[in-house]
């Protein structure tokens, strides 16, 4: 049995639907976005879009529409999911949450689902909703119901089986439906009917719109007073009202299909085409003497370029939201005059919303050498195509720097009278201290008379009563902030040197060997209050106040010899708690913090490890010890605050990290710098909200990104990326891209590259020069840091890149890019030939070393890890190639696939992903490929991605699900052993395009509940998820919590969690198994305490004696805290 934990690291970013209306309040204009199974609600303000609420549904949203309800001041939302659940939801202003008004299941026991996406419309009078989900069946849902009632519906049989589009017409008392349908001949026809709710049937509408409309693919209603419909065909846009039609030429669309529309008003409509252009249709109307209004002219104008749109929503004052699935969504403003610097662009982009979708391919690479991976993706399509870099970490943006070596500490100061911002930086060196004064953006050296600049500074900073503290090996000095004169001086009476120290606004603690001295800061005075002698020498001290206090009640000291920390009560310095750290490595830094009402003690060791404990602020006891590796060198902890007074900790080390709290747990985000030795915050007029960072050879001033889990960077390609690979030896990426020449853009990476070449022709290829496609494929080489295009190699006009890997072949020490291609010709339904091209990047050029023509397109390439032989799959054949004398030669082939699309290897095993037949496992032997296992359970299954978990377990995905298969090694029957078992399956509601092994967090964290390396996956909707294996005991605990949460936490839309996560296809239904839904469980920490306790009480597990016992809330929280750190 395979036990797995699956969780989303990055939620879906692609926008499939958008609506605008008064959802949260009658006074609010809202924008509602559907992203996979998530509903996001924004408020439209003068400053932009303000996020209000976000809810996850137990189902992928495939249609939604706002509608007005009688006697209600706010709009309600009708939602249809991909599994045909329907729900009506509204916003409760008092509870500030989305509530379910009605719900239902629109699924049919018998029926053929439509080939296109389901259609959902609501009539203008909000009487009924019409759904078209099954061929020839129109489902009508009356919108009269009681609170929280199950929705009822009835079916109407249609003569037309292929409905392309449908809408309700405005201006009629009875719901009047118009739809565009197709026929077997390929022609389109527009028909209209009135829905008779009483008779549950369609009757001919008073407005006859029956009209043959060849090539029509989009239709939408025109509001009153003109009414009618607009129909969009390949080269014309037509307005019908049943009596009259008006047409305008749309030839300048250049064959690009209109993908969506947005209504501005009754005379203006926005159209978005697949190439990423926004157009506007203007209706010129004329009113007759009888008062009838008709359209007399249509005008179509191109407004400019936007992301390839999936939805268009007009908000207000010329502002439009462009929702995209293939590029970044945008908030744009329509202009009356061309945008400055352009001649024909009437669009100004106000805001861009990052979208990773559609993730076609991705690789995981440790770009920063910080022991956690960055994800580099192929995202988007056409002009919206790009490379995206996703990092789990925090960026430091360098503003200024100065070369300085030997820095031993940095602090910022406020000096002079009435200083409200920092204006000086203190820099400590061995044997001296330097003060740099900030004058605007310039730094110049200055002096502070009260400072001892001939000695190294241990600690320095502003304290109460407008004073400054400086601690050196020989003294503690108190300096007047306004006059900079020495106000008070404390020196050890023994004449010994101070070894370590700590201070806050009111207190100072210094250690001299085993002696600890406690001082209090008064106005103009340093007063020694107490002194104690400890058993061992003090290694580190901290007196950071906790729980929002100005002074600390305790002092933490780390000791040599017994490797421990002691908590001493202030002012008496009496010991309150003694904690042995274990091991032989000394503590080097300590820090107490309170984050989200929880107090912690953090202690770092000399080997780069961090130990952190829960600190009881009353008893001072330490509990829940955890350990994580932050680096390989001693770590210094520096506390700082961000906006909202949230406390964070910066760890200065060879792998700098920021520690912060979220959902009452500590999280660790790496910083994009190789090494930081010391840091301090700086809030100067010229450098607000900045950091001062000291490295081995420089002093850097920089700003910090928002503290969040994932950061994304976009590298526009302006063409479609298909596959990519990383080459370690040259520190470059190889990317296969394709551009369509009919819509080519001079900004395309393959056209704008400074260095480029053309792939040599291959005599063995069969080419018809008159039947070539309009697509041109290229291979790009990108720098790993700047992502600049170093070289672009254009493939043959008939050749499309399908796959790419980077590998060392055979005994060759050279690392090559290996590209698999398909020869695409318009006369062929499927490519008949392909080519494997071996490329060497050297001297700034990509050179063809070898090429080999084979039958069929090369959809996937991999390397046998033991023999370093090349494996390829083309249609039904798996090839293994030898590499000798810079040439590929066929070693062995195996036929048995229907359409092989994916490959993964481990050792001498080859896992083949078949589009129709799921998995096939082959074993390479000398001159032979043996089929040792295949999956019959899932066949046929339209595979979209595969990976290998271990030698016995394999991971797969289809259009909606993720599942595992295992070799049947326990079977006594040799024939039965060939059949794989499918122990685990779950629906994720999105299509996975790629699996990759990797980790978004630091790999050195200990105590993880995951076994082995996690596997990341990227989806069509731009989501990134993680699959990890867990032990059976952990699985049983989490499953108990999951079941308890399903019974306790009510879902939006009253959709059952088990139904949402179940495996469901046209052929079979199976409940989910072997997977824990991490997205559901991670909501546990956000629940009220009483609900947590109730869930824990109902989460029953069996103890060693087989008796059922309830879990505790603390036990569940601890497990969830550990699991949350995997992303």
Tell me which of 248-262, 639-653, 855-869, 880-894 is least confident. 248-262
Element (H, E) at 132: strand 128-134
Residue among 659, 664, 598, 670 nearest 631 (CA):
670
Return the beta strands (E) in 664-755 as ranges: 665-671, 678-682, 690-694, 698-704, 711-716, 720-727, 732-740
pLDDT greater than 90 at residue 1018: yes
Query: Contact at 8 Å (CB) between 347 and 278?
Result: yes
Q: Distance between CA atoms of 534 and 418, rounded to whole angstroms? A: 42
| Mean pLDDT, residues 1082-1108 taken together | 85
Predicted confidence at residue 767, as pLDDT, reads 65
> What rounded mean pLDDT belongs to the chain?
89
Token code pair at residue 813: 């020490």
Q: Distance between CA atoms of 455 and 595, rounded to whole angstroms? A: 36
Element (H, E) at 1059: helix 1057-1061
- Residue ranges in 997-1051 assigned as alpha helix (H): 1032-1048
Query: Contact at 8 Å (CB) between 237 and 281?
Result: yes
Query: Contact at 8 Å (CB) between 647 and 639?
Result: yes
- Among all chains, which residue has been given the structure tokens 């001159």? 927
Please give the torsion angle defined by the CA atoms of residues 107, 113, 119 and 124, in that order, rounded to the nearest 10 degrees: -50
For residue range 1021-1057, list pLDDT tens digits in order.
999 999 999 999 999 999 999 999 998 888 888 899 9
Count of beta carbons in the 10 Å neighbourhood of residue 837: 26
pLDDT greater than 80 at residue 148: no
- Among all chains, which residue has been given the structure tokens 């509601």? 989
| Mean pLDDT, residues 1-17 taken together | 92
Predicted confidence at residue 396, as pLDDT, reads 83
Give the SS3 label for residue 25: coil
Token code pair at residue 957: 């995905």
For residue range 212-240, list pLDDT tens digits in order.
666 778 889 999 888 888 888 877 888 88
For residue range 60-89, list pLDDT tens digits in order.
999 999 999 988 899 999 999 999 999 999
Q: Distance between CA atoms of 360 and 1018, rounded to whole angstroms? A: 8
Exposed (0-12), middle (13-18) or buried (19+): which is 710, by Cβ within 10 Å?
A: middle
State CA 637 to chain mean position distance.
29
Predicted confidence at residue 978, as pLDDT, reads 75
Give the SS3 label for residue 302: strand
Q: Distance between CA atoms of 698 and 719, rounded to whole angstroms? A: 40
Q: Distance between CA atoms of 295 and 286, rounded to whole angstroms? A: 6
Residue 645: pLDDT band (50, 70, 90) is low
- Residue ranges in 421-462 assigned as alpha helix (H): none
Q: Distance between CA atoms of 676 and 659, rounded to whole angstroms? A: 15
Q: Distance between CA atoms of 253 and 263, rounded to whole angstroms? A: 19
pLDDT greater than 60 at residue 209: no
pLDDT greater than 70 at residue 690: yes
Greater pLDDT, 1007 or 1097: 1097
Predicted confidence at residue 185, as pLDDT, reads 62
Query: Contact at 8 Å (CB) between 421 and 392?
Result: no
pLDDT greater than 60 at residue 742: yes
Evaluated on CA atoms 46, 47, 53, 54, the torsion sign reads: positive
CB-based contacts of 442, cutoff 8 Å, min separation 6: none
Predicted confidence at residue 1004, as pLDDT, reads 47
Predicted confidence at residue 1003, as pLDDT, reads 59
Element (H, E) at 1122: helix 1113-1124
pLDDT greater than 80 at residue 346: yes
Q: Distance between CA atoms of 302 and 344, rounded to whole angstroms? A: 8
Q: What is the b/e burial string over 1086-1116, where b = at least 16 CB atoms within 10 angstroms of the residue's CB?
A: ebeeeebebbbebbebeeeeeeeeebebeeb
Exposed (0-12), middle (13-18) or buried (19+): which is 740, by Cβ within 10 Å?
A: middle
pTM score = 0.84
Highest-confidence segment of 569-578, 912-921, 1047-1056:
569-578
Evaluated on CA atoms 808, 813, 816, 822, the torsion sign reads: negative
**518 φ, ψ (degrees, to nearest 5):** -110, 125
Count of beta carbons in the 10 Å neighbourhood of residue 113: 13
Exposure of 1057 in the CB half-sphere (CA atoms within 13 A): 19
Q: Distance between CA atoms of 111 and 131, rounded to whole angstroms? A: 14
Predicted confidence at residue 1122, as pLDDT, reads 79
Token code pair at residue 209: 């719109």
- C-alpha gyration radius of the chain: 34
Predicted confidence at residue 939, as pLDDT, reads 46
1032-1048 and 1113-1124 helices, crossing angle to 10° = 110
- Among all chains, which residue has been given the structure tokens 């293994």? 880
Q: Distance between CA atoms of 179 and 190, rounded to whole angstroms? A: 6
Residue 549: pLDDT band (50, 70, 90) is confident
Evaluated on CA atoms 1055, 1059, 1062, 1068, the torsion sign reads: negative
Predicted confidence at residue 1085, as pLDDT, reads 81
Residue 1107: pLDDT band (50, 70, 90) is confident
Predicted confidence at residue 1119, as pLDDT, reads 86
| Mean pLDDT, residues 547-564 taken together | 92
Count of beta carbons in the 10 Å neighbourhood of residue 855: 12
pLDDT greater than 50 at residue 46: yes
- As a whole-number percent, the residues of the chain with pLDDT over 90 amount to 60
Residue among 342, 260, 259, 346 nearest 303 (CA):
346
Length of the chain: 1127
Q: Distance between CA atoms of 727 and 370, rounded to whole angstroms? A: 18
Q: Distance between CA atoms of 5 and 16, rounded to whole angstroms? A: 27
For residue range 465-474, list pLDDT tens digits in order.
999 999 999 9
In order of 200, 661, 693, 706, 776, the CA distances from 380 in angstroms are 44, 34, 37, 25, 17
pLDDT greater than 70 at residue 254: no
Residue 626 β-bridge partners: 612
Residue 419: pLDDT band (50, 70, 90) is confident
Residue 852 β-bridge partners: 836
Return the beta strands (E) in 560-645 as ranges: 564-569, 574-580, 587-595, 598-605, 609-615, 622-629, 636-642
Conformational region of residue 39, where left means phi above 0, alpha means psi within -120 to 50, and beta covers everything else? beta
| Mean pLDDT, residues 660-676 taken together | 81
Exposure of 951 in the CB half-sphere (CA atoms within 13 A): 5
Q: Distance between CA atoms of 344 and 300, rounded to whole angstroms? A: 14
Q: Side by side, which strands form the sheet with 992-997?
A: 992-997, 1010-1019, 1024-1030, 4-10, 1075-1077
Q: Distance between CA atoms of 48 and 28, rounded to whole angstroms? A: 13
Q: Side by side, which strands form the sheet with 720-727?
A: 720-727, 732-740, 775-783, 789-794, 756-758
1032-1048 and 1089-1098 helices, crossing angle to 10° = 120
Tell me which of 762-766, 965-969, 1016-1020 is least confident. 762-766
pLDDT greater than 90 at residue 537: yes
Tell me which of 80-94, 126-140, 394-408, 1101-1115 is least confident. 1101-1115
């Amino acid at each position: 049995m395979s036990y797995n934990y699956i969780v989303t690291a990055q939620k879906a970013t692609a926008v499939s639907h958008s609506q605008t209306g008064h959802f949260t309040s009658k006074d609010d204009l809202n924008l509602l976005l559907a992203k996979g199974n998530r509903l996001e609600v924004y408020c439209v303000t003068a400053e932009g879009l303000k996020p209000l609420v976000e809810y996850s549904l137990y189902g992928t949203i495939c249609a939604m529409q706002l509608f007005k309800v009688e006697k209600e001041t706010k709009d309600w939302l009708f939602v249809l999911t991909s599994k045909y659940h329907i729900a009506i939801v509204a916003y409760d202003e008092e509870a500030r949450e989305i509530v379910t008004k009605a719900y239902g299941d629109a699924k049919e026991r018998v029926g053929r689902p439509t080939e296109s996406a389901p259609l959902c419309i609501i009539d203008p009078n909000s009487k009924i909703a019409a759904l078209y989900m099954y061929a020839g069946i129109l489902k009508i849902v009356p919108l009269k119901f009681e609170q929280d009632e199950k929705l009822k519906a009835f079916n109407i049989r249609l003569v037309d089986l292929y409905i392309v589009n449908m809408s309700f017409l405005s201006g009629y008392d009875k719901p009047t439906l118009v739809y565009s349908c197709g026929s077997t001949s390929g022609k389109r026809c527009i028909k209209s009917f009135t829905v008779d709710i009483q008779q549950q049937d369609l009757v001919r509408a008073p407005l006859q719109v029956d009209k043959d409309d060849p090539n029509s693919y989009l239709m939408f209603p025109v509001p009153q007073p003109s009414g009618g419909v607009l129909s969009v065909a390949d080269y014309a846009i037509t307005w019908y009202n049943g009596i009259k039609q008006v047409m305008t030429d749309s030839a300048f669309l250049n064959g690009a299909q209109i993908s969506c529309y947005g209504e501005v008003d009754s005379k203006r409509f926005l159209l978005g085409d697949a190439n990423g252009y926004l157009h506007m249709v203007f209706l010129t109307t004329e009113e007759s003497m009888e008062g009838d209004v008709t359209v007399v002219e249509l005008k179509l104008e191109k407004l400019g370029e936007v992301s390839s749109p999936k939805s268009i929503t007009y908000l207000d004052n010329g502002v439009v939201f462009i929702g995209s699935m293939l590029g970044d969504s945008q908030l744009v403003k329509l202009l009356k005059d061309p945008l400055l610097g352009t001649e024909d662009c009437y669009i100004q982009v106000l805001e861009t919303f990052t979208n990773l979708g559609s993730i076609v391919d991705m690789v995981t690479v440790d770009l920063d050498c910080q022991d956690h991976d960055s994800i580099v993706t192929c995202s988007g399509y056409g002009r919206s195509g790009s490379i995206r870099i996703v990092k789990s970490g925090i960026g430091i943006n360098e503003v200024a720097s100065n070369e300085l070596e030997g820095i031993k500490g940095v602090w910022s100061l406020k000096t002079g009278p009435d200083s409200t911002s920092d204006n000086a930086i203190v820099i400590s060196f061995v044997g001296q201290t330097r003060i740099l004064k900030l004058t605007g953006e310039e730094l110049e050296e200055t002096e502070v008379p009260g400072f001892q600049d001939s000695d190294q500074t241990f600690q320095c900073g502003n304290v109460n009563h407008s004073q400054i503290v400086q601690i050196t090996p020989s003294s503690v000095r108190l300096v007047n902030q306004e006059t900079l004169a020495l106000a008070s001086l404390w020196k050890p009476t023994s004449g010994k040197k101070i070894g370590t120290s700590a201070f806050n606004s009111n207190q100072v603690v210094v250690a001299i060997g085993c002696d600890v001295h406690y001082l209090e800061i008064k106005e103009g005075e340093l007063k020694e209050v107490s002194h104690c002698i400890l058993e061992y020498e003090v290694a580190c001290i901290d007196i950071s106040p906790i729980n929002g206090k100005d002074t600390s009640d305790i002092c933490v000291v780390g000791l040599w010899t017994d490797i421990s920390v002691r908590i001493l009560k202030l002012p008496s310095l009496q010991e309150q708690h003694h904690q042995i750290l274990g091991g032989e490595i000394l503590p080097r830094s300590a820090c107490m913090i309170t984050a989200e009402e929880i107090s912690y003690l953090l202690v770092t060791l000399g080997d780069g490890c961090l130990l952190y404990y829960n600190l009881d602020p009353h008893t001072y006891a330490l509990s829940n010890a955890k350990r994580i590796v932050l680096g390989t060198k001693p770590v210094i902890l520096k506390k700082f605050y961000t906006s909202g007074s949230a406390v964070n900790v910066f760890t200065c080390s060879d792998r700098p990290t920021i520690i912060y709290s979220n959902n009452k747990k500590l999280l660790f985000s790496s910083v994009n710098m190789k090494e930081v030795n010391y840091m301090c915050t700086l809030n100067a007029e010229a450098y607000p909200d900045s950091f001062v960072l000291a490295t081995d050879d420089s002093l850097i001033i920089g700003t910090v990104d928002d503290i969040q889990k994932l950061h994304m960077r976009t590298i526009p390609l302006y063409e479609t990326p298909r596959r990519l690979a990383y080459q370690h030896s040259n520190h470059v990426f190889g990317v296969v891209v394709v551009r369509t020449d009919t819509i080519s853009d001079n900004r395309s990476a393959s056209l704008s590259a400074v260095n480029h070449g053309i792939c040599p022709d291959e005599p063995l290829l069969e080419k018809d020069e008159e039947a070539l496609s309009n697509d041109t494929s290229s291979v790009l080489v990108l720098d790993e840091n700047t992502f600049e295009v170093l070289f672009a190699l254009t493939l043959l006009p008939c050749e499309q890149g399908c796959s790419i890997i980077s590998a060392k072949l055979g005994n060759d020490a050279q690392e090559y890019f290996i590209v698999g291609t398909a020869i695409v010709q318009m006369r062929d339904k499927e490519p008949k030939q392909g080519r494997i091209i071996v490329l060497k990047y050297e001297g700034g050029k990509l050179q063809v070393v070898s090429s080999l023509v084979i039958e069929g397109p090369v959809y996937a390439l991999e390397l046998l890890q033991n023999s370093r032989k090349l494996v390829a799959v083309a249609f039904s054949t798996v090839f293994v190639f030898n590499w000798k004398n810079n040439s590929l030669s066929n070693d062995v082939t195996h036929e048995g696939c229907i359409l092989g699309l994916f490959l993964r290897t481990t050792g001498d095993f080859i896992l083949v992903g078949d589009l129709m037949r799921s998995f096939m496992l082959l074993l390479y032997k000398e001159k032979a490929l043996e089929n040792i296992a295949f999956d019959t359970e899932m066949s046929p299954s339209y595979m979209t991605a595969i990976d290998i978990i271990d030698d016995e377990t394999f991971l797969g995905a289809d259009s909606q699900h993720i599942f595992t298969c295992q070799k049947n090694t326990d079977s006594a029957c040799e024939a039965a052993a060939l059949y794989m078992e499918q122990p685990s399956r779950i629906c994720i509601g999105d299509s996975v395009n790629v699996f990759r092994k990797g980790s978004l967090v630091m790999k050195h964290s200990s105590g993880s509940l995951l076994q082995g390396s996690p596997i990341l996956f990227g989806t069509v909707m731009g989501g990134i998820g993680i699959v990890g294996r867990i032990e059976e005991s952990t699985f049983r605990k989490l499953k108990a919590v999951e079941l308890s949460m399903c019974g306790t936490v009510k879902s939006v839309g009253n959709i059952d969690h088990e139904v949402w996560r179940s495996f469901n296809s046209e052929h079979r239904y199976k409940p989910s198994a072997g997977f824990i839904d991490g997205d559901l469980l991670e909501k546990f920490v956000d629940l009220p305490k009483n609900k947590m306790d109730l869930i824990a009480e109902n989460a029953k597990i069996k103890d060693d004696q087989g008796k059922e016992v309830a879990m505790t809330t603390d036990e569940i929280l601890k497990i969830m805290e550990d699991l949350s750190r995997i992303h």
